[in-house]
Structure formats: structure tokens, C-alpha cells
A and B are shown apart, each in its own frame.
Chain A
């Protein structure tokens, strides 16, 4: 019996092809746009995470307990060689690099300013971060460059220094003595990220060990993974492997919750767009089905007069919505996945916004990234909406009085 109701519903869709096509287009374009927006956001978010983690913090960090909340020299990773060894044994770990980190005052003959200094092992640092790739002028550090420093462009401008110029750093060492060192600018970073360009100075690990009297006492160990998306899982694995209450293993979102909060905030906007698109889709389908029902009042009257039950009328009308929803969803999947796939290969060039994008850890060209979780959510919601909005027209049709309905034109 259902086959006949399905047949009637399908033929009713074909009966007014133009109207059905408009509805299907509305659903298709709406869903397609939604899938594309998700993919674009996913691509942009992944870029932000990758850049954010690869510039400085890395996907995972191992720190001494308390360093995250209150970073000070006294809170260093004890027995670092053993810790490094355990971390390297994890198959998801691509590289590790210990760092010494401290705050202090950087000065030139003209000016001085507060800065964050990190001491890195140049070879290892190249494997865990992209800082070396952001050197706009000069060169990144090499092993043995203990008298050299890399600074950001804004810092160089503020201090009024250029390549090969000397700058002086002052802080307090671990033993309480004055930590003071003079360094020559070997490279100037231009990343577009304010914190890096304005507030970061990089010296070699050995120079930092000497400066802060931190021999073999790294402040943090930066862990690079084969896949940054596994940061949570690998952090948990390392936590268990290290099994050391004096250490904290932190995925990037714990090291810097701001980015995660920003991503959550951004996702909220996408959900708002989703709701708006859903409302448009719902109104489109309901309009078509309701118009179809009102137009066929007489026909429903005949069906009821012939003995068709109310629930069978509801079934018939619902099938129409389901068909519209299914075809619209298929069209939306083709539009959304097709456009996302196309632009994931070519990228979307937003060079006109380079400065703004870089400040948010994005690049000028964004490659959409299809996340099927969101594709299925969007498609499922569109389908459910298409069924849900048929309830009112279907109920209206089922409650028609045959004698009145048959009289209607």
C-alpha cells in the first residue's frame, strides 16, 4: 500500500516541476553553502592550530608542575634526559626540543623593552616549530651561535636596531644573580603575529643555560607530532608513560586556551548560520508542501471520501517532503562537497586581508578542509527539518471534510 502513497507523492512533486525545483534548489544551495562554510572554517581553524602550535608552543608541551600557571626559572623539568627519552619512544612523536624560557629587559643604545626570551637548540627547534621559516631578514640560529639573537620586526623597530647590531638582555638567573648578556641580531622575524614580532627574542639553548645558570634544566619540552590533531590523545599517552606527578603534559589547548576559546566562539557563529539556513530551508519546504496541499484540497477530499484514513493522508504528504528533502540534500551534498573539494585543491586567495589573517595565525590562502562529521550533521538536520515541516500541511490535509473539500476548486 505504501508504494501507492509513495507513487502519488512522487508524481505530485513532478506535477509542479518548477515549484519543486525552486524548493530543491533552496535546500541544495542552503545545505551546499553550509557544508562549504563548515569546510572553510575547518580549513581556517586547522591552519590556525597548525600555525599557532608550530610558531612557538608546539602541539604538546611537557613542563614542570606549576610552570604553566606561574612560569619562573625555579620550575624546571628535572631529569630531562630521561624524560626526553620516554617522550621519544611514543610512535606519534615526530620530534622533541627542550627550551629555556624567561622574561627580562632587552635594550639597545636607543631604547629598551620587556621581552620573552627562549633558548632553543637550533637543529631540534627546526623540527618542532616554524620559527626559522619566519625569518624575514638575516638567518635563523645555528649551533654555536651563542652570541646571536633572533628578534621580531616590531621589536627591532622599537629598539632601533638592525641585523648585526648589538642588544643587551638583562634578567635574574636561577641562582639569584643578575643575568646579563650581549647579543648580535642575526635574524629578524616577521610573522604577522604581534606577540612574536613584538615580544619574542630567541637565543641558543647553551647561551640560555649560561645566562640563567640553568645547566641541564629546561623550562619546557616542546613535542612535535606526526599529526597535530592527535595532541589530546598523545598528551594522555605521555602522561601515563611519564607517570611523574612533578610533570604536566599539556596539549596546545591547555598551554594556550585562548585559541581554543576563539575557535569555540567561531563555531558558535557557524551554528547560528546553520540555524538561519535551516529556517530558510524549513520555510521553503513548508511553503511548497502547504501550497501543494491547498492546491489539492479537492483531491484530498476525494481520497478521504474513498475511505483513505487521516494517517494515510499524513503519510502521503510526508513522503512529498521527504522526497524534496532527499533530492535537496543530494544536491546540497554535490554543491557543498564539490565546491569544498575544488577549493581545497586550489585554495581561496584572501591576500587582501593578509595582515588581519596573519595576526590570527592564518595564511593568505585558505584551503577548505571537509570534516564529514559536520557534513552528516548538516545533511541529517536538513532531512529532519524537511520531515518536521510537513507535519502542519499533512495534518491540515488529514482533517479536511470531504464534502467541503470536494466542492473547493
Chain B
């Protein structure tokens, strides 16, 4: 069953003196519920742009993105914030944890915005941090953890709020291969355990080996 349906999606950036730089051209794509899919391509292929549009971090120049039949390209500011809060989880290449919060507080943050009661929030955060193998570091701040540990916290933060889809932008790019493989295995397990859809943007062959489906992009177009 389709969770996300992209129709005729284009994104053009205007840079400098009205110079138009097309990043995506007429993309049509369907992502199914519980999918574990990679948007693959070289640098500049448009994979991160597509991922940002799927997560409503950016607005398309034209076309539609249907998330469970709702066109998220037409949401207003408040609705976009709600969508990001409740439907999507993000994992960034540079981890992007909040530096002033501990691992536990980072994981709690989204649930806190969702209004989850404190006790439940704490239980779920501890459970997920244990699940991703960070239980020893729950009171550490991001700068007190390694890259792999931070990315595990980022995975925990993305999944703990129970979104239907997690968008991961080159999550293994800053990790060594062993840590990257462990993390991918963890995400695959979570995909199976929790039926969470994962969409990666990547050019890492290891990620492409692990995913169930690969969508290849080149110069802003899907080539396979």
C-alpha cells in the first residue's frame, strides 16, 4: 500500500542573478508502507533535495507529494510543523542533535512537543536508548559521545515518537564501516519490528546492499 506518492515533482533553485538551477525534474515515485528504500545517486543528483521535499523541509516548485492521500506541498506553516512532528522522523548526516540537551533529553524532545506524559516519555526514551545500545550514555551531552553513538541517539530520537516514515539523509557518511553496518542492521531491525518505513538518501554501497529497493537519480531525474 502506498504511503507516499510523488507526482510530477520539480524543484528549481534560483541563485545569484535569477539563475535557475533545476534540482529535480518531473519526479514520479511511490513509496510503500514499511518500505526500506534508498534514493541513490552521485553528489548533485537531487537525492537530498527529494528527501527534504518528502519531509516538507522545503517546498517544491511544482508537482504534488501525497502522504496518505494528503498533499503535503499545500500545507500551511502550522500544518507543516504538525506533519513534521507527528508523521516523520529525521536522521541527518551530521547527526544534528541538540547540543544543550543530553542523549536522554534529545530523545525525549519530540515526545515532549507531542505532549506525551513525562513518565511515559521517560520509559519510552530509556527503552529505545537501550535498544540502540546507548543506555550507558543517556546523561551524556552530544560532545561527550562518538559519531556512531550520536547517530544512534539520532536514530532513537527519530523512531521513539513512532512516526510512520523515517527519512535518513546519508546517515552513514560520517561513520566508519563497522559502525555504519551496525547502525544499518539496527534500522533494518526497527523497520521489521515496528513496521516503520525508512527512506535513505545515499551513495554508500553498503546502504544500497541493505535496502529492499533502490531508486536511482541522476541530474534531478529518476533513471531506474
- List residues of chain A with CB under 8 Å of any chain B CB: 1, 4, 7-8, 11-12, 15, 298-299, 302-310, 312, 401-403, 406
User: Which residues in chain B, 54-102, are within 8 Å of chain A measured between CB atoms?
Assistant: 55, 57-58, 77-78, 81-82, 84-86, 90, 92, 96-101
Most chain-B Cβ atoms within 10 A of its Cβ — which of A15, A303, A308? Answer: A308
The complex places the Cα of A307 from the Cα of B96 at a distance, in Å, of 14
Q: How many residues of B contact A (CB 8 A)?
A: 28
A403/B58 in contact, CB under 8 A? yes
Nearest-CB residue, chain B, relative to A401: B58
**Residue from B81, B97, B100 in contact with A307 in the complex, judged by beta carbons closer than 8 Å:** B81
With both chains docked as a complex, state the minimum distance between the C-beta of B98 and any C-beta of chain A, in angstroms: 6
Please indicate the chain B residues that have their CB under 8 angstroms from the CB of A8 in the complex.
98, 100-101
The complex places the Cα of A4 from the Cα of B108 at a distance, in Å, of 10
B84/A307 in contact, CB under 8 A? yes
A305/B101 in contact, CB under 8 A? no
Tell whether B110 is near chain A: CB-to-CB under 8 Å: yes
The complex places the Cα of A406 from the Cα of B96 at a distance, in Å, of 8
- List residues of chain B with CB under 8 Å of any chain A CB: 52, 55, 57-58, 77-78, 81-82, 84-86, 90, 92, 96-101, 105, 108-110, 112-115, 157
**Residue from A15, A306, A310, A401 in contact with B99 in the complex, judged by beta carbons closer than 8 Å:** A15
With both chains docked as a complex, state the minimum distance between the C-beta of A409 and any C-beta of chain B, in angstroms: 10
Interface of B is mostly: helix
Given A305-B84, A308-B81, A4-B109 contact (CB < 8 Å): yes
Interchain Cβ contacts under 8 Å between A and B, 11 examples: A4-B101, A7-B105, A8-B101, A302-B92, A307-B85, A307-B110, A308-B81, A309-B81, A312-B113, A402-B57, A406-B57
Most chain-A Cβ atoms within 10 A of its Cβ — which of B55, B77, B81, B97? Answer: B81
The complex places the Cα of A110 from the Cα of B84 at a distance, in Å, of 100
Please indicate the chain A residues that have their CB under 8 angstroms from the CB of B57 in the complex.
305, 402-403, 406
**Residue from B55, B90, B96, B100 in contact with A12 in the complex, judged by beta carbons closer than 8 Å:** B100
Closest 4 CB pairs of A and B: A307-B85, A11-B100, A403-B58, A307-B84
Please indicate the chain A residues that have their CB under 8 angstroms from the CB of B92 in the complex.
302, 406
Please indicate the chain B residues that have their CB under 8 angstroms from the CB of A309 in the complex.
78, 81
Please indicate the chain B residues that have their CB under 8 angstroms from the CB of A7 in the complex.
100-101, 105
**Residue from B52, B58, B86, B96 in contact with A302 in the complex, judged by beta carbons closer than 8 Å:** B96
Please indicate the chain B residues that have their CB under 8 angstroms from the CB of A406 in the complex.
57, 92, 96
**Residue from A298, A306, A312 in contact with B90 in the complex, judged by beta carbons closer than 8 Å:** A306
With both chains docked as a complex, state the minimum distance between the C-beta of B76 and any C-beta of chain A, in angstroms: 12
Nearest-CB residue, chain B, relative to A9: B100
The complex places the Cα of A402 from the Cα of B52 at a distance, in Å, of 10
Nearest-CB residue, chain B, relative to A3: B112
Please indicate the chain A residues that have their CB under 8 angstroms from the CB of B112 in the complex.
1, 4
B110/A306 in contact, CB under 8 A? yes
Known pairs A309-B81, A406-B96; list 5 more (Cβ under 8 Å).
Answer: A1-B112, A7-B105, A303-B98, A305-B55, A308-B81
With both chains docked as a complex, state the minimum distance between the C-beta of B116 and any C-beta of chain A, in angstroms: 10
Please indicate the chain A residues that have their CB under 8 angstroms from the CB of B108 in the complex.
4
Please indicate the chain A residues that have their CB under 8 angstroms from the CB of B101 in the complex.
4, 7-8, 11
Please indicate the chain A residues that have their CB under 8 angstroms from the CB of B90 in the complex.
305-306
The complex places the Cα of A263 from the Cα of B82 at a distance, in Å, of 59
Most chain-B Cβ atoms within 10 A of its Cβ — which of A8, A307, A312, A403? Answer: A307
Given A11-B100, A302-B98, A307-B55 contact (CB < 8 Å): no
The complex places the Cα of A302 from the Cα of B52 at a distance, in Å, of 13
A4/B78 in contact, CB under 8 A? no
Please indicate the chain A residues that have their CB under 8 angstroms from the CB of B86 in the complex.
307
**Residue from B52, B77, B84 in contact with A306 in the complex, judged by beta carbons closer than 8 Å:** B84
The complex places the Cα of A61 from the Cα of B134 at a distance, in Å, of 83
With both chains docked as a complex, state the minimum distance between the C-beta of A170 and any C-beta of chain B, in angstroms: 87
The complex places the Cα of A305 from the Cα of B98 at a distance, in Å, of 12
With both chains docked as a complex, state the minimum distance between the C-beta of A177 and any C-beta of chain B, in angstroms: 92
A299/B85 in contact, CB under 8 A? no
Nearest-CB residue, chain A, relative to B92: A406
The complex places the Cα of A309 from the Cα of B84 at a distance, in Å, of 10
A299/B98 in contact, CB under 8 A? yes
The complex places the Cα of A305 from the Cα of B82 at a distance, in Å, of 10
**Residue from B78, B85, B115 in contact with A1 in the complex, judged by beta carbons closer than 8 Å:** B115
Nearest-CB residue, chain B, relative to A1: B112
With both chains docked as a complex, state the minimum distance between the C-beta of B200 and any C-beta of chain A, in angstroms: 17
B105/A4 in contact, CB under 8 A? yes
Please indicate the chain A residues that have their CB under 8 angstroms from the CB of B81 in the complex.
304, 307-310
A298/B82 in contact, CB under 8 A? no
With both chains docked as a complex, state the minimum distance between the C-beta of A27 and any C-beta of chain B, in angstroms: 22
